[in-house]
Amino acid sequence: MSKDLKQQFVSHLFNARNRVRFAMDDMFKPLDITDATWRTLFFLRQEGNGLQQKELAKTMGIESPSLVRLLDNLAKKSLIERRTDPNDRRSNTLYLTKKSEALFEQLDVLSKQARESVLKDVSNEDIKTCIRVFEKILSAQPNE
C-alpha cells in the first residue's frame, strides 16, 4: 500500500529539515554551538531585539519553560541579555549582544557552507518552487 501523497510530502519535509539541521550541527561543532543554541539565536535574530520570551517560545514552537533553560545558558555565555519589558514588568525582553553578533559572523559563513552542501544537487527553480509551497503552508489558517 503506497503512502498518501500529502503524508509522503510531510514525511519528506521532516526528513529534509533534519538533514539541514544535522549539516548545521556538524559545521557548528568546532564552535561548541549546539542545535538548541544556534536555533534560539537564529530565531531571536530573525524576530529582532526586544522580543518577549513567550513570543520567542511560540515562534520556535517550544514551551516557555523549555526556553528558560536555553536562555539561561545563552545569558551565562553573554550571547543574550534579558531586560524587563517596559510595558509589562512581569515579562522579559531579549537582546542579542555584541558577542553574539560576532558569533553570527562565523555562523553565517558555516551555515552557508552547510546549505551549499545540502542543496548542491537542487536547482534554483526547484528551490523557488519549494519556497512557494512553504509560503502557502505558512500562510494557511489552522483548521481550515
pLDDT at residue number 91: 84
d(CA 34, CA 32): 6
Residue 4 DSSP label = P
Distance in angstroms (rounded) separating the CA atoms of residues 123 and 138? 22
Q: Which three cell numbers stand for residue 99?
A: 558577542
Binned at pLDDT 50, 70 and 90, residue 64 comes out as confident
* Tens-place pLDDT, residues 66-86: 899 999 999 999 999 999 888
Mean pLDDT (whole number) for 110-134? 96
Q: What are the pLDDT digits (tens) for 85-94?
A: 888 888 889 9
